[in-house]
Copies of this chain bind each other. A is one copy, B any other.
Amino acid sequence: MSDDDIAALTVALRQFAKDRDWDPFHTPKNLASALIVEAGELLEHFQWLDRGATEDLSARQREAVAMEIADVFLYLIRLADKLEVDLIGVARRKLELNALKYPVALSRGTSKKYTDL
Protein backbone atom coordinates (compact mmCIF):
# COMPACT_ATOMS: atom_id res chain seq x y z
CA MET A 1 0.00 0.00 0.00
CA SER A 2 1.04 3.55 -0.57
CA ASP A 3 -0.45 6.81 0.61
CA ASP A 4 -1.99 7.17 -2.80
CA ASP A 5 -4.16 4.06 -2.57
CA ILE A 6 -7.50 5.83 -2.53
CA ALA A 7 -6.20 8.63 -4.74
CA ALA A 8 -5.00 6.09 -7.30
CA LEU A 9 -8.34 4.29 -7.28
CA THR A 10 -10.09 7.64 -7.68
CA VAL A 11 -8.04 8.43 -10.78
CA ALA A 12 -8.50 4.91 -12.17
CA LEU A 13 -12.28 5.15 -11.76
CA ARG A 14 -12.33 8.54 -13.49
CA GLN A 15 -10.47 7.04 -16.43
CA PHE A 16 -12.69 3.96 -16.45
CA ALA A 17 -15.82 6.11 -16.78
CA LYS A 18 -14.22 8.46 -19.30
CA ASP A 19 -13.11 5.59 -21.56
CA ARG A 20 -16.68 4.33 -21.72
CA ASP A 21 -18.43 7.74 -21.89
CA TRP A 22 -20.19 6.83 -18.66
CA ASP A 23 -19.47 10.08 -16.89
CA PRO A 24 -22.89 11.57 -17.70
CA PHE A 25 -24.52 8.64 -15.85
CA HIS A 26 -22.38 9.22 -12.78
CA THR A 27 -24.39 11.93 -11.08
CA PRO A 28 -24.13 11.88 -7.26
CA LYS A 29 -27.77 10.73 -7.16
CA ASN A 30 -27.12 7.79 -9.47
CA LEU A 31 -23.92 6.84 -7.65
CA ALA A 32 -25.71 6.91 -4.28
CA SER A 33 -28.37 4.64 -5.85
CA ALA A 34 -25.77 2.26 -7.27
CA LEU A 35 -24.01 2.19 -3.89
CA ILE A 36 -27.13 1.10 -2.00
CA VAL A 37 -27.93 -1.49 -4.68
CA GLU A 38 -24.48 -3.01 -4.08
CA ALA A 39 -24.99 -2.76 -0.30
CA GLY A 40 -28.14 -4.82 -0.83
CA GLU A 41 -26.21 -7.47 -2.79
CA LEU A 42 -23.73 -7.55 0.09
CA LEU A 43 -26.46 -7.93 2.72
CA GLU A 44 -28.12 -10.68 0.67
CA HIS A 45 -25.32 -13.06 1.63
CA PHE A 46 -26.13 -12.57 5.32
CA GLN A 47 -29.91 -12.27 5.33
CA TRP A 48 -30.72 -15.79 6.54
CA LEU A 49 -27.60 -16.33 8.63
CA ASP A 50 -27.32 -15.75 12.36
CA ARG A 51 -24.04 -13.90 12.45
CA GLY A 52 -22.34 -14.36 9.12
CA ALA A 53 -18.90 -14.84 10.62
CA THR A 54 -16.10 -15.97 8.30
CA GLU A 55 -16.52 -19.58 9.43
CA ASP A 56 -20.23 -19.49 8.49
CA LEU A 57 -19.33 -18.72 4.87
CA SER A 58 -18.00 -21.11 2.23
CA ALA A 59 -14.86 -20.13 0.32
CA ARG A 60 -17.09 -19.25 -2.62
CA GLN A 61 -19.34 -17.07 -0.47
CA ARG A 62 -16.32 -15.35 1.06
CA GLU A 63 -15.07 -14.44 -2.41
CA ALA A 64 -18.53 -13.23 -3.46
CA VAL A 65 -18.81 -11.13 -0.29
CA ALA A 66 -15.35 -9.64 -0.92
CA MET A 67 -16.44 -8.65 -4.44
CA GLU A 68 -19.57 -6.94 -3.10
CA ILE A 69 -17.49 -5.10 -0.52
CA ALA A 70 -15.29 -3.95 -3.41
CA ASP A 71 -18.33 -2.72 -5.37
CA VAL A 72 -19.57 -0.66 -2.42
CA PHE A 73 -16.08 0.77 -1.92
CA LEU A 74 -15.62 1.65 -5.61
CA TYR A 75 -18.93 3.52 -5.76
CA LEU A 76 -18.12 5.25 -2.48
CA ILE A 77 -14.78 6.44 -3.87
CA ARG A 78 -16.46 7.61 -7.08
CA LEU A 79 -19.21 9.46 -5.19
CA ALA A 80 -16.70 11.11 -2.85
CA ASP A 81 -14.72 12.21 -5.91
CA LYS A 82 -17.79 13.74 -7.55
CA LEU A 83 -18.70 15.63 -4.36
CA GLU A 84 -15.07 16.54 -3.57
CA VAL A 85 -15.20 14.76 -0.24
CA ASP A 86 -11.92 13.52 1.29
CA LEU A 87 -12.87 10.00 2.40
CA ILE A 88 -10.13 9.55 4.98
CA GLY A 89 -10.63 13.07 6.32
CA VAL A 90 -14.40 12.77 6.87
CA ALA A 91 -14.02 9.28 8.34
CA ARG A 92 -11.58 10.63 10.95
CA ARG A 93 -13.82 13.58 11.69
CA LYS A 94 -16.92 11.38 12.04
CA LEU A 95 -15.10 9.00 14.35
CA GLU A 96 -14.22 11.92 16.63
CA LEU A 97 -17.84 13.07 16.63
CA ASN A 98 -18.98 9.54 17.46
CA ALA A 99 -16.59 9.46 20.43
CA LEU A 100 -18.29 12.59 21.78
CA LYS A 101 -21.77 11.24 21.02
CA TYR A 102 -21.18 7.89 22.69
CA PRO A 103 -19.04 8.50 25.78
CA VAL A 104 -17.47 5.28 27.02
CA ALA A 105 -18.94 5.56 30.51
CA LEU A 106 -22.52 5.88 29.24
CA SER A 107 -22.37 3.54 26.25
CA ARG A 108 -20.73 0.50 27.76
CA GLY A 109 -22.33 -2.76 26.79
CA THR A 110 -25.65 -1.25 25.83
CA SER A 111 -26.80 -1.13 22.26
CA LYS A 112 -29.62 1.24 23.27
CA LYS A 113 -27.83 4.47 22.51
CA TYR A 114 -26.01 2.82 19.66
CA THR A 115 -29.31 2.04 18.02
CA ASP A 116 -29.73 5.81 17.62
CA LEU A 117 -26.47 6.12 15.70
State the A residues within 8 Å of B (CB): 1-7, 9, 12-13, 16, 19-22, 25, 27-30, 32-37, 39-54, 62, 65-67, 69-74, 76-77, 79-80, 82-85, 87-88, 90-95, 97-99, 102, 104, 107-109, 111, 114-115, 117
Contacts and interface: CB of A to CB of B under 8 A. Distances in A.
A90 B115 CA distance: 23
16 contacts: A3-B3, A13-B95, A16-B99, A20-B102, A21-B108, A22-B109, A27-B50, A27-B53, A29-B50, A32-B42, A33-B33, A35-B43, A40-B40, A69-B80, A69-B87, A70-B95
Contacts of A95: 9, 12-13, 16, 70, 74
Identify whether the interface residues of A are mostly helix, strand, loop, or mixed: helix
Contacts of A35: 39, 42-43, 72
Nearest to A112: B48
Contacts of A32: 39, 42-43, 45-46, 52
